[in-house]
Amino acid sequence: MSHQFDSTVLREYDIRGIIGETLGADDARAIGRSFGTLLRRAGGKLVAVGYDGRVSSPMLEHALVEGLTASGCDVRRIGMGPTPMLYYAEASAEEVDGGIQITGSHNPANYNGFKMVFQGRPFFGKDILTIGEMAAKGDWDDGTGSVEQVDVMDAYIDRMLEGLAGIAPEKLASLKVGWDAGNGAAGPALERLAARLPGEHHLLYTEVDGSFPNHHPDPTVPENLEDLIKLVADKKLDFGIAFDGDGDRIGAIDGEGRVIWGDQLLMIYAEDLLTRQSGATIIADVKASRALYDRVAELGGKPLMWKTGHSLIKSKMKETGSPLAGEMSGHVFFADEYYGYDDALYAGVRLIAASARLGKTVTQLRSAMPEMVNTPEMRFQVDESRKFAAIDEVKERLKDSPSDVNDTDGVRVTNDDGWWLLRASNTQDVLVARAESFTEEGLARLMAQIDEQLALSGLKRGPQAGH
């Protein structure tokens, strides 16, 4: 027995494909066989398995469990829920050795995939390639594992509510918050959480529906926040929180309907955290605003710029002992009083806590931030064989530049106008560009520098590519 995956399915941070075209039950079974074999050989045995609200998820979950048990692993099925609930099931129980969540995240409804944790660490990059190599050779151990069904949702909610510990109830009682689950997997957990939170809570689209009838569950796209903005305005709420399809990325708006981007949320969390942990290292990805890095330093923290990608950030947190990290995409990681994984529901609780502890409304916190002029994340198609080579060419040309050039992940150039970034996506054949300045004129000059570097490598900012 062996199995060959479609060449597009095994990716840098996870496994993802189109149901019925590049991903199906046989793939799920083979993932279970390879992951289970690796875990058994590393001395592990018990795997927690969860799935999101997509129509194809139960079918993939069934096949995955078959593969895991056939390799001698025992499986703890936690049922449907957000990805962080699976992370919780893995992190909170000592006897659990690994975890797999079936999720298509924020991809279109016909996609699905797998996010994995292996003995407490992210499973990505070479690990995922190993799954493919083992399947192609049929390098699988045989065994007979057991299966148990465990409901962890109430324990998960209890654990998240600890994020409000020590805050006087009267500071929380008057809060009014809007929430948008986007018909994603976080809906049922959000209902239970909101019922137990102090204050007044208004919920949108908590019914799980894998066809996403109201709007696509990607809170980094402003049009997906329009219903939440309207809710906050109509009900005169303090702020609003939205989730992606599997509940590991957060989006937020303040009481005036302004979007609070991932790096701006991190500024709020950092201000709260650094009042309690002076000098802590706060990690953000290379796409984050200069305003964030400056603010962390101003508050007495150590800002650290790192590579984009939730698995890479989690690994860097463990290495540096950082209690807080985040990405522009809305992944926020709390190792401070939590487990260090990205959990949008918990990030929502911590936004409530930060506002209460700092004694400022979320709108006040957002208003205090410098108004930078920046581009959205621009993604444009480039041939797979050229994407990394082009970035290397840019680095080479800028090595003697008077500007500050950071090559942690692609090229980020800082000068008097602000900064610009050019990096290759790890998951698609696209280059990603972003720029930020203090003025429109400065931004235009930065964009001209990006275009000049692309032209020198025979490329140009062509049509925008989707996620």
pLDDT tens per residue, range 154-190: 999 999 999 999 999 999 999 999 999 999 999 999 9
pLDDT score at 286: 95
How many domains does the chain contain in total? 3
Q: What is the pLDDT of residues 213-239, one digit of tens each?
A: 999 999 999 999 999 999 999 999 999
101 lies in a domain? yes
Residue bearing tokens 């041939």: 383
Asked if 145 and 191 sit in the same domain, the reply is no
Asked if 62 and 116 sit in the same domain, the reply is yes
- 314 Cβ contact partners less than 8 Å away, ≥ 6 residues apart: 121, 122, 325, 333, 340, 341, 342
Asked if 33 and 148 sit in the same domain, the reply is yes
Q: What is the pLDDT of residues 307-322, one digit of tens each?
A: 998 889 999 999 999 9
Residue bearing tokens 């809710």: 231
On the question of pLDDT at 462 being above 70, the answer is no
Any catalytic annotation for residue 105? yes
Mean pLDDT of 344-358: 97
Asked if 337 and 394 sit in the same domain, the reply is no
> Rounded to an integer, what distance in angstroms lies between the CA atom of residue 82 and that of residue 88?
10
Residue bearing tokens 């990405």: 327
189 lies in a domain? yes
Nearest to 56 by CA among 14, 104, 10: 104
Domain closes at, from 300, 334, 367: 367
- 197 Cβ contact partners less than 8 Å away, ≥ 6 residues apart: 161, 164, 172, 177, 349, 352
Asked if 207 and 282 sit in the same domain, the reply is yes
Mean pLDDT of 280-308: 96
The CATH number covering residue 268 comes to 3.40.120.10
The H or E element spanning position 242 is strand 239-243
pLDDT score at 377: 85
295 lies in a domain? yes
Local confidence band at 107 (pLDDT 50, 70, 90 cut-offs): confident
Domain closes at, from 86, 117, 152: 152
Asked if 381 and 272 sit in the same domain, the reply is no
42 lies in a domain? yes
Q: What is the pLDDT of residues 69-97, one digit of tens each?
A: 999 999 999 999 999 999 999 999 999 99
312 lies in a domain? yes
Asked if 81 and 136 sit in the same domain, the reply is yes
162 lies in a domain? no
Domain closes at, from 367, 395, 421: 367
What is the average pLDDT score of the chain? Answer: 95
On the question of pLDDT at 466 being above 60, the answer is no
164 lies in a domain? no
Residue type, 57: S
Asked if 145 and 227 sit in the same domain, the reply is no
User: What is the pTM assigned to this prediction?
Assistant: 0.94
User: Which one of 34, 56, 71, 105 is the catalytic residue?
Assistant: 105
The CATH number covering residue 385 comes to 3.30.310.50
Contact 125, 15 (CB under 8 A): no
466 lies in a domain? no
Range of the domain at 429: 373-456
Asked if 194 and 262 sit in the same domain, the reply is yes
Asked if 195 and 137 sit in the same domain, the reply is no
- 295 CB burial (10 A radius; 0-12, 13-18, 19+): buried
Residue type, 233: A
Asked if 363 and 218 sit in the same domain, the reply is yes
